Amino acid sequence: MAARQRLQRTRDLSVSGRYREAIEMADEGLSLLPPGSRGVERERTRLDLLLERGHARVLMGDYAACSDFEAIQEQASEPLQQILARLGVADCQSGTGEYEAAERHYRQAIEEAQNVGHDLGMIRGWRGLASLYWKQGRIDEAVQAVSQARAILQRSPDVGELGHTLLSLGIAQQLAGRLDQAITAYEEALNCFRTLGDRHRVAAVLNNLGELHQELRDLNRALQYHEEAVKVAIEVGAERMEIDIVRNIGVDLLLLGRYSEAMLALDKSLAQARQLGDKDHILQALYSLGDACLRQGDVERAMQLTQELSAEAEAVKSEFHAARAKYLQGRAHLARGERGAAQAVLQDALGEAHALPSRILLWQLHAALGRASEDHNLAQIHFRIAADFIQQTVEPLNDPEMRTRFLEQPEVRAVLERAR
């Protein structure tokens, strides 16, 4: 059957990361099914083609794909198609910031998959939850969800699903400040995607490896990763991914002191994220742009961006981004000389951040509170706590050069000196 052949070709294209071609192939397969014909096999093929098309659209950042999945939910009689469609709806909701609804759908899909013994449904459900959790800053829960997915992958190996799962694990570990574990997860994910020839995901992993080296302040290496990632993303038409890579290039350039180039990249990234409507990209871009404005002394624009970041974080109930918004706000107050206001908002942020095991955010908040405090003894306590979190971040790194680069960045060195 010609439509079934197109279905298999659609799957092959999607596995190799050629999502645009996969969508076109699915459309071609659907056009080969006569509109008036009936039959169980024809209907199964039609819905499978819709599933594959929707999945490819989501991976490209087209969350209007939700209509494909909703159509399947209305029409499918097979439990497996219903489960995969529910996961597709959850993926779209996760992308558009409907986090509570997405979590309900992921959990329901996992339960339904367990009932029928469908390992792929359980793997994708746990992996979806992991991504949802790290977007919200629920880092420990993200790592636990990844562990569930990996346990199932041991009995049902799938290189592509393993790559996606390791990518989520790397992000969660990076947000937690466990940079050594993040590097291991990213490198394993990169091997998976290169094995499959999935260049979309290769670009994603390169982007995250670059961001990790950015945090270590190995900026030339970070920029190399990001320039390679954006080249691959443009070649394969990964527009959604390109948005975050451009943001990271902007941060690299900012930290290298190339301010005008940095601002062009960061403004472009935020504009494209808003156009796409991807909430996580919007939140990331707002934070990076606000940080860039503060580093250049544009306090008023930084405060405006902080207010927008806070509102967006509240809308999606992300404690992580809410805490980062307050961190920026506290720094803005400090830049104005408003130490009391800075201390109040930073203390508020610290209360939220301690529920998030993010060592990097925690040392940054304690360092800022040390600068804001007028009480010398209290300031000293905050600097010592910040220094402890810095040491917890750097000690597990196996590469001595990485450790040295991290410890030699001016902000870290200033904290360590004040702590002593």
- The encoded tokens of residue 187 equal 């490198």
Residue 284 banded pLDDT, cuts 50, 70, 90: very high
The residue from 254, 278, 301 where one domain ends is 301
State residue 347's pLDDT score: 94
State residue 33's pLDDT score: 86
State residue 38's pLDDT score: 65
State residue 353's pLDDT score: 79
Q: Which residues contact 102 (CB under 8 A, 6 or more apart)?
A: 90, 91, 93, 94, 128, 132
Give dist(CA 164, CA 201) in Å, integer: 8
State residue 36's pLDDT score: 60
| 357 pLDDT more than 70 | no
291 with 352, same domain: the answer is no
278 with 353, same domain: the answer is no
State residue 37's pLDDT score: 58
Per-residue pLDDT averaged across 183-192, rounded?
Answer: 95
Of the chain, the percentage scoring pLDDT greater than 70 comes to: 98
Q: Return the residue matching tokens 């360092």.
A: 367
Total domains in the chain come to 3
Residue 398 banded pLDDT, cuts 50, 70, 90: confident
Give dist(CA 55, CA 77) in Å, integer: 19
Give dist(CA 226, CA 340) in Å, integer: 39
Q: Which residues contact 42 (CB under 8 A, 6 or more apart)?
A: 3, 33
Domain residues for the domain of 39 are 1-96
Task: Please check whether residue 77 lies inside any domain of the structure.
Answer: yes
341 with 290, same domain: the answer is no
Per-residue pLDDT averaged across 315-332, rounded?
Answer: 93
296 with 346, same domain: the answer is no
- The encoded tokens of residue 326 equal 């307050």
The residue from 47, 66, 96 where one domain ends is 96
Per-residue pLDDT averaged across 289-301, rounded?
Answer: 97
Task: Please check whether residue 24 lies inside any domain of the structure.
Answer: yes
Task: Please check whether residue 145 lies inside any domain of the structure.
Answer: no
State residue 1's pLDDT score: 62
- The encoded tokens of residue 360 equal 């990097």
- The encoded tokens of residue 10 equal 């659609």
Task: Please check whether residue 363 lies inside any domain of the structure.
Answer: yes
What's 87's domain CATH number? 1.25.40.10
Instruction: Assign 3-class secondary structure to 239-259.
Output: HHHHHHHHHHHHHHHHHCCCH
State residue 279's pLDDT score: 93
18 with 77, same domain: the answer is yes
State residue 123's pLDDT score: 97
Alpha helices in 277-358 (DSSP H): 279-295, 299-316, 319-335, 339-353
Q: Give, in order, the Cα–Cα distances in Å from 16 to each of 9, 206, 207, 236.
A: 11, 17, 18, 11
Task: Please check whether residue 296 lies inside any domain of the structure.
Answer: yes
268 with 354, same domain: the answer is no
State residue 258's pLDDT score: 96
Q: Return the residue matching tokens 């156009």.
A: 275
pTM value surpassing 0.75: yes
Average pLDDT, the chain: 93
34-38, 336-340, 346-350: segment of lowest average pLDDT? 34-38
292 with 379, same domain: the answer is no
Per-residue pLDDT averaged across 69-79, rounded?
Answer: 92
The residue from 301, 320, 352 where one domain ends is 301
| 295 pLDDT more than 80 | yes
189-193, 263-267, 400-404: segment of lowest average pLDDT? 400-404
State residue 402's pLDDT score: 86
> Rounded to the nearest 10 degrees, what angle do helices 376-394 and 410-419 cross at?
120
405 with 359, same domain: the answer is yes
17-45 pLDDT, tens per residue? 888 899 999 999 989 887 665 678 888 99
Residue 377 banded pLDDT, cuts 50, 70, 90: very high
Number of helices and strands (H, E) in the chain?
Answer: 22, 0
Residue 346 banded pLDDT, cuts 50, 70, 90: very high
Give dist(CA 18, CA 295) in Å, integer: 39
CB 151 within 8 Å of CB 114: no
Q: Return the residue matching tokens 């439990």.
A: 79
189-236 pLDDT, tens per residue? 999 999 999 998 999 999 999 999 999 899 999 999 999 999 999 988
Per-residue pLDDT averaged across 251-270, rounded?
Answer: 97
Task: Please check whether residue 27 lies inside any domain of the structure.
Answer: yes
CB 152 within 8 Å of CB 123: yes
Task: Please check whether residue 403 lies inside any domain of the structure.
Answer: yes
Sequence letter at residue 69: F
Give dist(CA 281, CA 294) in Å, integer: 20
Task: Please check whether residue 208 lies inside any domain of the structure.
Answer: no
CB 332 within 8 Å of CB 300: no
Ramachandran category for residue 417: left, alpha or beta (phi over 0 → left; psi -120 to 50 → alpha): alpha
Alpha-carbon dihedral of residues 30, 31, 37, 43, nearest 10 degrees?
A: 0
Give dist(CA 378, CA 60) in Å, integer: 49
9 with 82, same domain: the answer is yes
